[in-house]
Chain A
């Protein structure tokens, strides 16, 4: 019976190189690389970087595999032609969203309990950046999806001087505070959804102590404007992108990290909702790139990275239940992709050698010109 399933797996198999070829074929671009003429012009100084995690948990088969490409038209048609695409990024760490995203941000596989409200043990890229380049707090921001992520901005401090962390903004908490005793609170519940993985033991956001001053002082939004706009949105990730836009206008941070999470609704087992989540994330990635292009502070000097935190379980692993969870630790749930785009990034190029999720931090360091001594990964030379 094992043999039988192995055959099935092979029948539906495609190499990672193949799917890229088919993705490139779909848009009719030749797979040649060229260096953008802007490459030399943009110096490290003044560079900005935006990191988007295409989370939480996306499989190839619903994204860049031939059968999945229909779900990501913006990535395929708009972004890939301008990007260097790494076809094989392997996450060797714990496949929980917070701990994995924290590992992406420290460049070390963190080993803390995914559900604990703790800071990463190792220094974050935000700290390296601020200390290394002497940047003020508002030059780096993190937009995070849920409660558990609120300590991702700064490491526990054992390995790094304190005080260089990134401010972390949890849009749901802001909205929650803004709503206060809003007569129609229930209408906003879609945007306040905190966790799909563990809905029973995650308390619904109550009236929290997030000061409303954050809204007015930081985002320069009135409570009324914020709630009015929130009403037009349909998901937590849309709210995050809205907050991102405000942060860009307000502070134009040079290092901006946004973690998207809608697709993790897959834990409820409804495939259609998971696919909708991916489609929305794809659309939001396109939107973020347009925000960058249309903002004079960002245009022409910003590199954007998009990468999933990890995949989800394979259909063929008997200990899992396919797309629903990420529990088996099988190869498919560990292997994802990454794309980089920006003025100095080679366009329409693929990198097929295996990379590691922790390679991101040293790459950001090399790109922006700061040291990342504690990070374990290696610089991805193809994108610097």
Chain B
């Protein structure tokens, strides 16, 4: 099948909103080169359970493509049209399995030594879209708060080394009621600026009470998802065993199997208004390497994906100790919640995770006004970054977390 052969009925297997979206944009889809098209379909096929921001971005992208005069459109697509693909790849069901197609595509690009050219094309395309479809600056400054170091009573490590140059280190934080204070900050923002999936709380362990759906906050935690993660690993290893018995199985087949899993496969149920969240959680567990077995990886990856996809106003991420390292074979089989933990290792993981969370927030609109706070839980050290604070400085004055948050913006 070639892109120009697409018809409305090609999308019969898509969920209702996705189908309607595809049909409405059929004229554009028919003109997109095959090396790019399945990447767009990958976003489209999940339209029904995408976050509102993602739906808006996708809509605007297609409005823009439809508005382009033919020569400009051809110009934009030229680098993708130049990608040479073997004829066999056109025989794949790229309409209904765009995920699978893009995995194969990536392998092909590497082996045909076209990866660099493709990468350049993708970057140009993305840059063009970013310039044209400027995301609106949010009504309030974004705020991400990352709490690290749970379960480490004392550490000699120099924390927040990578964040220091960008903000102020506070060395006399009053840690009393720190978590309650931060939850208060998050809940206040959710109350004053309510919007679906605009305020997030991600916990690497058992979440603190009083910050979740009733407060207008999207909540997800490793504690709640660990059983789903274990289920996913069990299903996948059963798939691998069955396939191996027949013919052997490659990493792409495994990824495709995992990509086909849905919330009900993993036993993820809950409030029907949270369907997008359930699908997001499945994506975290099926796409994020290590997020199933290490709670620290879970928090970092979930925060990254939440920022990238939902573009929240508020993100509160708290790391907890992960289970100790073990051979992969054991990690993939055992219940992560009942193992001995590695708090010191987790502190190092979380310190890096805090840095990555800040970087990921800086990728969103309004970055020059965005605020970021990372705190060593229960201790007197924190780093704060925001337009209200000097860069690369140290403050030795006593301060509580509420005050620091106020100083940032």
B236 touches A200 (CB 8 A): yes
Residues of A bordering B, CB below 8 Å:
1-2, 4-5, 8, 11-12, 67, 94, 96, 109, 111-113, 115, 189-190, 192-193, 195-201, 203-204, 265, 267-273, 275, 315-316, 318-319, 321-325, 328-329
- At the interface, yes or no: B50 with Cβ under 8 Å from chain A? no
B332 touches A199 (CB 8 A): yes
> Which B residues lie within 8 Å of A329 (CB)?
115-116, 119
Closest residue on chain A to residue B107 by CB atoms? A113
B254 touches A200 (CB 8 A): yes
A8 touches B322 (CB 8 A): no
Closest residue on chain B to residue A201 by CB atoms? B254
- At the interface, yes or no: B161 with Cβ under 8 Å from chain A? yes
- At the interface, yes or no: B278 with Cβ under 8 Å from chain A? no
Q: Whole-angstrom distance between the alpha carbons of A198 and B127 in the complex?
A: 32
> Which A residues lie within 8 Å of B301 (CB)?
269, 321
Closest residue on chain A to residue B123 by CB atoms? A319
- At the interface, yes or no: B72 with Cβ under 8 Å from chain A? no
- Given known pairs A193-B328, A329-B115, the reply for A115 and B165 (CB within 8 Å) is no
A114 vs chain B, min Cβ distance (A): 8
Closest residue on chain A to residue B348 by CB atoms? A272
- Given known pairs A2-B130, A269-B301, the reply for A198 and B113 (CB within 8 Å) is no
Q: Whole-angstrom distance between the alpha carbons of A115 and B288 in the complex?
A: 20
Chain B interface SS verdict (over half):
helix
A118 vs chain B, min Cβ distance (A): 12
Q: Whole-angstrom distance between the alpha carbons of A4 and B294 in the complex?
A: 31
A269 touches B290 (CB 8 A): yes
B304 touches A200 (CB 8 A): no
A54 vs chain B, min Cβ distance (A): 21
Which are the 7 A-B pairs with shortest beta-carbon distances? A269-B297, A269-B290, A189-B327, A272-B348, A268-B290, A272-B345, A271-B352
19 sample A-B contacts, Cβ–Cβ < 8 Å, listed by A number: A1-B362, A4-B362, A11-B165, A12-B165, A111-B112, A113-B111, A199-B328, A268-B290, A269-B288, A269-B296, A269-B300, A270-B345, A271-B351, A272-B344, A272-B349, A273-B345, A275-B348, A316-B359, A322-B356
- Given known pairs A1-B363, A2-B127, the reply for A315 and B332 (CB within 8 Å) is no
- At the interface, yes or no: B364 with Cβ under 8 Å from chain A? yes
Q: Whole-angstrom distance between the alpha carbons of A112 and B107 in the complex?
A: 10
User: Which of B91-99, B203-211, B244-252 is the interface stretch?
Assistant: B244-252
> Which B residues lie within 8 Å of A109 (CB)?
113
A193 touches B236 (CB 8 A): no
- At the interface, yes or no: B171 with Cβ under 8 Å from chain A? no
Closest residue on chain B to residue A198 by CB atoms? B251
Q: Whole-angstrom distance between the alpha carbons of A190 and B332 in the complex?
A: 14
A351 vs chain B, min Cβ distance (A): 25
Q: Whole-angstrom distance between the alpha carbons of A198 and B293 in the complex?
A: 14
- At the interface, yes or no: B156 with Cβ under 8 Å from chain A? no
> Which A residues lie within 8 Å of B359 (CB)?
5, 8, 315-316
B346 touches which one: A189, A198, A265, A272 (CB < 8 A)? A272
Q: Whole-angstrom distance between the alpha carbons of A322 and B290 in the complex?
A: 14
Interface centre among A1, A111, A273 (most CB of B within 10 A): A1
B61 vs chain A, min Cβ distance (A): 17
